[in-house]
Amino acid sequence: MQDQRDGHQIGTVRFEFPVTAARAALLVVDMQRLFLEPSSPLCVPGGLAMIPTINDLVAHCREREVPVLYSGTIHQEDGSDLGLIEEGAVLWRRASRYLVDPEWQALHPELKRQPGENFFAKTRYSAFYRTSLEDWLVAQNRDTLIICGVATIACCAATARDAYFRDIRPIVLADMTATYGLADMGFGAYSPEDTQRMALADLARHCARVVPTDLVRQELAPACDRRSSAR
């Protein structure tokens, strides 16, 4: 890493966390109706379109005995655990009824989750916050967490940072995460595309290995499969 002197920017840091089927788990973040369906005020652009590719990756992981985990934002129906969300912007106050509604909290029905695959309910962005995710990963001897889902700049980023703080290697899938844009909060507005690039660059610089899904699929394949594809 370069020094930051005389206003020069520190050079890019790349995390080359390895991906092995024996040490990794896949986490599908917040692929819920409230974040995917266009009628919800919290709909993430591009999130719904990722479902087929996420299902394909999930099947790939199952074949290689990589555990598939899910997380979701689940609040009490009386709103008692919303916390500071209700003190936030008008959008969040208007969206609170979706956050506490079990029908909207449900994973999207097109996701092919199988019985027995763990679901971690959370009340804040990070899938580690007041959940048993870390304990589960430690118990299963899994020190690498592959992250896909929504939203890159919020729940995916918070989960990746929390993993890094716990010495669990985060792998963020650049083409299997999606986010919303940012309205002008006094610093300019950002489109979903600009926000996605910014979030991925930030994660790659500070805490995660950020890579395309095809590369992870290839690295999870047995050595014999990799040799065959290279011919």
Query: pLDDT digits over 27-71, tens only?
Result: 999 999 999 999 999 999 999 999 999 999 999 999 999 999 999
User: What pLDDT is recorded for position 225?
Assistant: 54
Local structure of residue 27 (DSSP, 8 states): E
- How far is 51 from 62, CA to CA, in rounded Å? 16
Residue 29: which of 81, 96, 107 has the closest Cα?
107
Helices 51-63 and 213-220 cross at an angle (nearest 10°) of 10
Helix spans in 111-181 (H): 133-139, 157-165
What domains lie within the chain, and their CATH numbers?
24-230 (3.40.50.850)
> Tokens representing 98?
């979706």
User: What pLDDT is recorded for position 3?
Assistant: 42
Query: pLDDT digits over 91-110, tens only?
Result: 667 788 899 999 999 999 99
Residue 207: which of 162, 175, 174, 154 has the closest Cα?
162
User: What pLDDT is recorded for position 6?
Assistant: 44
Q: What is the pTM of this model?
A: 0.91
User: What pLDDT is recorded for position 124?
Assistant: 95
Q: Which helix (H) or strand (E) holds 93?
A: helix 90-99
- How far is 171 from 155, CA to CA, in rounded Å? 14
User: What pLDDT is recorded for position 79?
Assistant: 87
- How far is 182 from 201, CA to CA, in rounded Å? 16
User: What pLDDT is recorded for position 89?
Assistant: 63
First-to-last alpha carbon distance for the chain, in angstroms, is 36
- Residues of the chain with pLDDT below 70 are 1-13, 89-92, 223-231
Place of tokens 């940012």: 182
Q: Which residues contact 132 (CB under 8 A, 6 or more apart)?
A: 120
